[in-house]
Amino acid sequence: MTGTDHPTDATLDVAALVARARAAAGPDGRAAVGGIADWETFPFEREGLRLRALEDPVVPEPPRRDEDAATCSRCALPDEVFAWTDGTWRLSGRGPVSVPTFVLDPRTHVDLGDLDDDAAGDLGRMIVRVERALAAVPGVGRVHVHRWGDGNGHLHVFFFARPDGMVQLRGLVMPLWTHHLPALPDDEWDAIVASVVAALEAGPARA
Ligand SMILES: [Zn+2]
């Protein structure tokens, strides 16, 4: 099999998925709020909470921002707006942020699935370097790494630092919490960025 072959006859039947969800929903089209609302990490109280009704799938999907390299705003950014760059990667640490938040972009216009094996390996090493640099900052309990890719066509990987001891922010709910916490003071954030940059400048080897 070559890389261009479709590997199987498998299909995700989206129409059937939506139909099942709607059949399981209440008469107003809303499914009941699930057990996630009982998680101790869930940001919202169950009382008064309700799901939105499922919308129809949009096919083809609307384009993301920066799909085209020729007009990509991320490609057009000068190195000066990034906290750290090298020949392949650019790391931004722009504030204000409620928890330390970094975004890693490749210098060239690619999405995740465009990476060849060498570039994929390089991305993996770079993710570990950034994670290690951020995790070393006192007060950081854990570094969360995310790639969603729904908003922008230029690959970008998020790093969120969960504050040490804030176990209520553990796991997948932390990005929701970040929208509800005040911004870090500028001097505190600037020092964290400088610390991460210094660790990256020190090189890839484990300290
Ligand atoms: Zn781009």
pLDDT tens by residue, the chain, 207 residues? 445 566 789 999 999 999 999 999 989 999 999 999 999 999 999 999 999 999 999 999 999 999 999 999 999 999 999 999 999 999 999 999 999 999 999 999 999 999 999 999 999 999 999 999 999 999 999 999 999 999 999 999 999 999 999 999 999 999 999 999 999 999 999 999 999 999 999 987 654
CATH-assigned architecture of domain 69-201 = 2-Layer Sandwich (3.30)
In angstroms, the CA 126 to CA 143 distance is: 14
Report CA(66)–ligand 1 centroid distance (Å). Answer: 6
In angstroms, the CA 151 to CA 170 distance is: 24
Report CA(128)–ligand 1 centroid distance (Å). Answer: 23
For the chain, give every residue range classified as CATH 3.30.428.10: 69-201
Report CA(12)–ligand 1 centroid distance (Å). Answer: 29
Report CA(110)–ligand 1 centroid distance (Å). Answer: 7
- Backbone phi, psi, residue 146, to 5°: -135, 140
Report CA(169)–ligand 1 centroid distance (Å). Answer: 32
Report CA(175)–ligand 1 centroid distance (Å). Answer: 24
Q: Which structure tokens are listed for 191?
A: 């020092």
Report CA(73)–ligand 1 centroid distance (Å). Answer: 6
